Structure 1
Amino acid sequence: MAAAPETEVRAELRAVAHESLAKGQASEGVPRRRLAEAGWLGLEVPEELDGAGVTFAETAVVLEELGRAAARTGYFGAAVLAAGTLTALETTAERDALLRRTANGTEALTAALVDATDDSLVAGTLGGRDGAVPFRIEDSPAGPRLSGHAGFVPDAAEADRLLLLALDPAGAPVVVLLAPGAEGLTVTGQPVLDATRRFALVRAEAVAPDEGCVLRFASEPRRAVGRLLDRAAVATACDSLGLAEAMLEATVAHTRGREQFGRPVGSFQAVKHACADMLVRLSVSRHLVSEAVRLIAEDHVEAGVAASMAKSYVCAAAVDVVGKAMQLHGGMGYTWESGIHVHLKRATLNRSLFGSPAAHRRRLAGRYR
């Protein structure tokens, strides 16, 4: 079955994002102010809170284009993790203020939902994911205290405030809002080979949350957390799809223009077959991502299945496609100047974030036990 055609609004958003990111050196950094002015940070924020009031389907378009450009931004932490978490919470004045500041770019937020490289987060349904919840609130003689840690939290080192997923003393998932300077809370940068993104280890040791900083989910908490994790997995797949498509386009252009033995490299049968294989992988990836994005946007009961299918296939396929692109560029593909290494490192890291392909395949296999 073919993927559904893109709506006019999403097609226009894609064209604008593509043109905007192509103008500058996106891999050197796109400031938060620019993201806010474009309206990208507030796509899913309600209109009454200065947002666009659209769905994850529009956010996915921007994610693909950011991946295509291998852009260095804080978009994932702000728009995918923070905004997604905030919209799942009960409506309060504090929550609304945070959403408004996220949309207009006046405050940088991110959410530490899990250790992003911990495969236990995809262990079946949410009843089995409590072990992946990184923080705990425990009662003490001095009052509630928050402890725990989460590694590889996107954009945490640059965040003004953090949303930490925790279990309250009764075992229910909640979100704790903290500033990086809170006593007992440390945020330590974690270097990775992918130079286009930044991650940090967030550690809390007996932190005393201020009154009103423990926020609760609007609906069934475990289901809400599961949707946030599926959303993060699909967002990562969107990034991988965009960067892989960019590498196929670059490879086709290169093999058409480069000549060997008096003819374009792209005219050789082996090169044609390699490019065709890349295209097939990307065509399947596009369909899986489109379906997963649609179900996430609709909050469909089968969204988790589609998320695991997209994450497991697309993030693995992207590594293969970028690796093949490097090969087909010949010796130039292995040079620093070609820039292919930037996409390869990003694709390789994506494969490990929010559940490895093997972990998501295990989750899918669990449906048949």
Structure 2
Amino acid sequence: MTSDLSSLSDLSDFSHLHDELRAVARDLLGKAGSGAAVDRRLIAESGWLGLEAPVSLDGAGATFAEVAVIVQEMGRAAARSPYLGTAVLAAGALALLEPGPDRDRLLAETASGAAVPALALAGEGDGAAGFRLERSARGLRLHGRADFVPDAPDADHLLLPALGPDGTPVIVAAGPDTTGLSVTARPVLDDTRQFGLVTADHGVVGEECVWQFRGDSEAAFRRLLYRAATAVACDSLGLSEAMLDATVAYAGVRSQFDRPIGSFQAVKHACADMLVQVSVSRRLVSAAVQALCADGPQVGVAVSMAKSYAGGAAVDITGKAMQLHGGMGYTWESGIHVYLKRAALNRSLFGSPAAHRRRIAERYR
């Protein structure tokens, strides 16, 4: 298998499917161009929004392994799309909830592109539940906040991880116009994505808006964080591969002293270092995706290893790509700045490398 997530073949015998999915995604996203907006309807028609939705709800019944392929190609193209907030986080959270008419309808509408939900999972920090429910004489009241929520400003449904009155983790389904709930756009340096601050101050919540997780709710909360961190690691891997390919291609055609700069030893060494970083990132991300799909006991360690390394490596690789492109690399025309800003945001989104390394170190205490 030539797939970047080749070790996923240990989990299933769908390597050929991943290759085909990757080829279609690369072709579709490549036509839009790096940093360009991708038509959400086109993504919906391709079936990417409903990869993990059950077949009974017009989904593909696939796993996170297939979603990871798309996320990686999104990073390779630096695509401007709500895929992270909608398909990876919101749809993933819906799949973890108890089935019901409202939940099933929203999941089906998400798969078809008719609904644009966002999961208010904080972009930084360790806590998934930024909200809490309190019971009062007038019913349930919602309090809390989540900052840097992917794709929140344009969402028509908000899924809020919260602790219920009894301390049980739940998901509160609300709309942006819910009383006491506000969404404020958060400008970031990366123009390919958008984030929002979701705040609830004595928000009014009906009992029908409180949805329960299937099985262990604490484990489900942790899984949401693992999904988010792994998806960002996949995105970082994709953009790292794009920068390596672009740099090697440029070094083969750019000449100095009547020689391609790729023939200079210093450039060769720099490209070799980039290749090593990409290769290590690929192995770690592959292991994290496989662990997440298998839901093994060491999934947290695998995710933290992938997120900490791939996030930091992407910034280093993109910086080297800019340097090796010379003066051209610092121009808007090169497009490298788009990848550098995206890599810098990925490094801190859903846990910085230092935060994830601390989690890894905890297993030795």
- Which TM bucket (shorter chain)? over 0.9
Structure 2 contact 34–335 (Cα < 8 Å) conserved: no
Q: Does 1:285 align with 2:288?
A: no
Match of 2:315 in 1: 319
Match of 2:12 in 1: none
Q: Distance in 1 between matches of 2:231 and 2:334?
A: 26
| Partner AA of 2:327 in structure 1 | G
SS at match of 2:52: coil
Structure 1 contact 334–341 (Cα < 8 Å) conserved: yes
Match of 1:117 in 2: 124
Note the residue ranges of structure 1 that are not aligned, 5 or more in a row.
122-128
Q: Does 1:167 align with 2:163?
A: yes
Q: Distance in 2 between matches of 1:209 and 1:154?
A: 23
Q: Distance in 2 between matches of 1:5 and 1:292?
A: 10
Match of 1:206 in 2: 202
Q: Distance in 2 between matches of 1:65 and 1:79?
A: 14
Structure 2 vs 1, CA of residues 189 and 307 (structure 1 numbering), >3 Å: closer, same or farther? same
Aligned match for 2:44, one of 23, 36, 46 = 36
Kindly state the Cα deviation for residue 79 of structure 1 after the two structures are TM-superposed: 0.9
Kindly state the Cα deviation for residue 24 of structure 1 after the two structures are TM-superposed: 1.8
Kindly state the Cα deviation for residue 300 of structure 1 after the two structures are TM-superposed: 1.7
Structure 2 contact 146–198 (Cα < 8 Å) conserved: yes
Structure 1 contact 29–73 (Cα < 8 Å) conserved: yes
Kindly state the Cα deviation for residue 345 of structure 1 after the two structures are TM-superposed: 0.2
Structure 2 vs 1, CA of residues 11 and 3 (structure 1 numbering), >3 Å: closer, same or farther? closer
Q: Distance in 2 between matches of 1:68 and 1:174?
A: 34
Kindly state the Cα deviation for residue 242 of structure 1 after the two structures are TM-superposed: 0.2
Kindly state the Cα deviation for residue 147 of structure 1 after the two structures are TM-superposed: 0.8
Kindly state the Cα deviation for residue 211 of structure 1 after the two structures are TM-superposed: 3.1
Q: Distance in 2 between matches of 1:293 and 1:51?
A: 20
Q: Distance in 2 between matches of 1:42 and 1:53?
A: 8
Kindly state the Cα deviation for residue 31 of structure 1 after the two structures are TM-superposed: 2.2
Aligned ranges 1:328-343 → 2 under 5 Å: 328-343=324-339
Match of 1:21 in 2: 29
Match of 1:94 in 2: 102
Match of 1:126 in 2: none
Q: Does 1:256 align with 2:264?
A: no
Q: Distance in 2 between matches of 1:103 and 1:320?
A: 36
Matched pairs, number: 356
Kindly state the Cα deviation for residue 298 of structure 1 after the two structures are TM-superposed: 1.6
Q: Distance in 2 between matches of 1:315 and 1:26?
A: 19
Match of 2:178 in 1: 182
Structure 2 contact 301–360 (Cα < 8 Å) conserved: yes
Match of 2:137 in 1: 141
Q: Distance in 2 between matches of 1:73 and 1:331?
A: 30
| Partner AA of 2:267 in structure 1 | V
| Partner AA of 1:331 in structure 2 | G
Aligned match for 2:85, one of 77, 84, 89 = 77
| Partner AA of 1:320 in structure 2 | D
Structure 2 contact 133–162 (Cα < 8 Å) conserved: yes
Structure 1 contact 3–291 (Cα < 8 Å) conserved: no
Match of 1:308 in 2: 304
TM-score (norm 2): 0.96
Kindly state the Cα deviation for residue 95 of structure 1 after the two structures are TM-superposed: 1.0
SS at match of 2:207: coil
SS at match of 2:81: coil
SS at match of 1:27: coil
Match of 1:151 in 2: 147
Q: Distance in 2 between matches of 1:236 and 1:215?
A: 26
Q: Distance in 2 between matches of 1:204 and 1:170?
A: 19
Q: Distance in 1 between matches of 2:131 and 2:220?
A: 17
Structure 1 contact 190–199 (Cα < 8 Å) conserved: yes
Kindly state the Cα deviation for residue 144 of structure 1 after the two structures are TM-superposed: 1.2
Q: Does 1:67 align with 2:107?
A: no
Note the residue ranges of structure 2 that are not aligned, 5 or more in a row.
10-14
Q: Distance in 1 between matches of 2:326 and 2:296?
A: 45
SS at match of 2:206: coil
Match of 1:54 in 2: 62
Q: Distance in 2 between matches of 1:234 and 1:348?
A: 16
SS at match of 1:171: coil
Structure 2 contact 35–80 (Cα < 8 Å) conserved: yes
Kindly state the Cα deviation for residue 25 of structure 1 after the two structures are TM-superposed: 3.2
Structure 2 contact 8–286 (Cα < 8 Å) conserved: no
Q: Does 1:227 align with 2:223?
A: yes
SS at match of 1:272: helix
Structure 2 contact 140–207 (Cα < 8 Å) conserved: no
Kindly state the Cα deviation for residue 4 of structure 1 after the two structures are TM-superposed: 2.0
Runs of 4+ in 1 over 6 A off after TM superposition: none
Q: Does 1:4 align with 2:7?
A: yes
Q: Distance in 2 between matches of 1:300 and 1:245?
A: 28
| Partner AA of 2:216 in structure 1 | E
Identity of aligned residues (%): 60
Aligned ranges 1:337-352 → 2 under 5 Å: 337-352=333-348
Kindly state the Cα deviation for residue 30 of structure 1 after the two structures are TM-superposed: 1.1
